[in-house]
Structure 1
Amino acid sequence: MQHSSFEIQYKSFKDASELSEQDQFLINETRKIATAAYAPYSGFKVASLAQMENGTMVHGTNQENASYPIGLCAERVMLAAISTIAPQVGIKNICISYISNKQGSDVPIAPCGVCRQSLVEFESRFSGNIRLLLAGQSGEVFEFNSVSDLLPMAFKKNNLIS
């Protein structure tokens, strides 16, 4: 028997001021967009902003429903919008932030498992890494070179092709 492990590399910044002007812009825009989320039940508003390869910005926010399981996560709302308006354009960067009405919003937030799988599919679709910035409304920021870093054993198209 052999023991194996995964190691995830990422950068941690004490706050957005340590980032480039472009990254600060992405984070600040994502923080603003979070206010538009529809989260009347949880009070947990999430926004996801993609900077496309052509420079276009596309965003999504979470959309809750009284029937909880049919709510939509911000990341998948954003990906659906991208698939509709720019299906042939890859994603360069994604930033995710949130507002919590019940607790602070000063730690980075990561996508749920379903969204991680969806993001990895997009990365695979365009055969290139999608850089990921994770933030709250203030405080620490995490930077990942690839969304695949968050799901090292993702189910991918090569699992289906024989």
Structure 2
Amino acid sequence: MKEVKIETTLQVYDHLNDTPKEVQDLMEQAISAREKAYAPYSKFNVGAALLLENKEIITGSNQENASYPSGLCAERTAIYFAGAKYPEEKIIKMAISASSKIHTTITPIPPCGACRQAISEYENKQNHPIEIYFMGESGKVVRSNSLANLLPLGFDKSYL
């Protein structure tokens, strides 16, 4: 038997104001998208904003449904729209902000597993890392220089 150790390195900013201006602007877009979420069941609003290589910004918010599996997370809403509208453009950065109508979210909230897999597909497709920033409604902001940091041992087309 051989033991394998997997490590992830993330950067943590104490406040959104500590991030680069371009990231602050992108996160503000994510926050604005979060406010448009349709989350009457979970009361958990998420917004995502993508910066594309052509400088376009695409946003998305979570959209719930009484039949829970039929809803869609903010990250996938944004990334699928970007793929449909700008199929040849690389996604350079993603900003995510989440809040709850039940309690204050100050802990940075990363993408769920399904979103990580979807983001991974686009990162692999474009053969270029997607820089990801995530936060709650306020507080610390976490930066990952690639989705691969958040999903080590990812599943991709090479297994098919």
**TM-score over 0.5 (shorter chain):** yes
Which whole-Å CA distance do the structure 1 matches of 2:156 and 2:41 have between them? 34
**Gaps (5+ residues) in structure 2?**
none
Q: Give the fraction of aligned pairs with identical amino acids, expressed as a percent.
A: 36
Query: How large is the RMSD of aligned CA atoms in angstroms?
Result: 0.9
The Cα shift of 1:148 comes to 1.3
Question: TM (normalized to structure 2)?
Answer: 0.97
> What are structure 1's unaligned runs of at least 5 residues?
none
CA–CA distance in 1 between the matches of 2:4 and 2:84?
40
Name the residue aligned to 2:40. Answer: 40
Q: In structure 1, what is the equivalent of residue 152 of structure 2?
A: 152
User: 2 CA distance for matches of 1:75 and 1:10?
Assistant: 19
Name the aligned partner's letter for residue 57 of structure 2: M
Q: Secondary structure at the match of 2:69?
A: helix
Structure 2 residue 13 is matched with structure 1 residue 13: yes
Deviation at 1:80, TM superposition (A): 1.5
CA distance, structure 2, for counterparts of residue 21 and residue 78 of structure 1: 21
Shift of 1:79: 1.5
Alpha-carbon distance between aligned partners in 2 of 1:85 and 1:12, rounded to the nearest angstrom? 32
- How big is the shift at 1:76? 1.0
Q: Given residue 151 of structure 1, which amino acid in structure 2 is its aligned partner? A: L
Q: Which residue of 2 aligns with 1:97?
A: 97
Superposed structure 1 runs of 4+ greater than 6 Å apart? none
Partner of residue 125, structure 1: 125
Shift of 1:136: 1.5
**Cα distance between partner residues in 2 of 1:153 and 1:70:** 27
